Amino acid sequence: MSRQQPQPLADCFPEIERRIRAREAVSLFLDFDGTLTPLVGDPAEARLDAAVQRAIDRLSRKRNLNVTVISGRSLHDLHARIGLPYVIYAGNHGFEIKGPGLRFMQPIAGALRPELQDLCSRLAVSLSSIPGAKVENKVLTASVHYRQADPADVAQIEEVILASVKQNAARFRVSLGHQVFEILPVAGWNKGAAVNWIHDQLGGPTPITIYLGDDSTDEAAFRMLTGSITVKVGPLDPTSARYHSPGPAQVREFLLWLESIAFARAKAATR
C-alpha cells in the first residue's frame, strides 16, 4: 500500500461498522505501548486501563472474533500485563506467539539467542557511562531505551548501537521506535508475517482484519493488510495505514464502541 493521508478513525465508524457486519469473522490486532496504553518514561510502569481490559476480554470471548495483542515486549511481559485467557499474545514484534491452541517461536530468532545475549552484554558495558540508556534483552529481540537519557546523548547512544550491530550485520538489524532502538534478528520476519501466520493457524472464514498500532514496526503489517482496517495511532507521521487515531484515549473509545456493536444483536456465545 502506498503512503497516503489516513482518514480520521472517529469519522469512519459507520463505514467500519458496515464492513464488519458484511463479514462472518473479525480478527483484531492491537499494539500495546502507545496504542492500548500511553507511552511512559519507564516502560515497566505501563498499565492497561480497566475498561479497555474488560472490553478486550469480552471481545476475545465472542465467537468468530479473535483478538491478538502484538508488541515489542517479550511474551512473558505481555501476558503478565494483560492476563486474559482467550487473547493471542504475539511478543517480540511477532517473533514469538502464544494463544489458545497456538505456540510459535521464529526458528532463526531462536537459534540466535546466544549471540543476542552476547551483543546485549557488550552493549550494556559500552553504554554504562551514559545515564538513562538501558539495554533490555528480551531473549529473541532487544531494546535500548533512552527515554530517560539526556537528549544530547542520543546521537552517541545510536552510534554505539550501530557500531556494535555492524559487527553482526548478517544476523541483526536496528529499527527506531519511540525513544527506543530495537535490535531484531535478520530472519525475513516482521509483524506482517506474524499476522499471516496467525490467520493460517486459525483457519475458518476469511476475517475482516482490524489492526491498530503506533510504531514503525507496525508499518510492515499496514503494508501487508491491503483492504483491511488499519489504524496508525499517535502523531500523524507518514504511514501506510488507512485510518488515524490520535492516541490511546481514542483507541479506548474505539474498543468500547466495537464491543457495543459486537454484542448489539444477540448475547455473545462464549467459548
31 catalytically annotated: yes
- For 227-256, give one letter per residue: b (16+ CB within 10 A) or e: ebbbbbbbeeeebbbbbbbeebebbbebbe
Tell me which DSSP letter residue 143 carries. E
Please provide the distance, in angstroms rounded to a whole number, between the alpha carbons at the two ends of the chain: 35
Q: Say which of 31, 33, 77, 218 is annotated catalytic.
A: 31
Strand order in the sheet with 180-185: 134-137, 142-145, 180-185, 172-176
Please, are residues 95 and 106 in contact by the beta-carbon 8 Å criterion?
yes
Torsion of CA 115, 93, 65, 35, to 10 degrees: 150
Active-site residues, by number, are 31
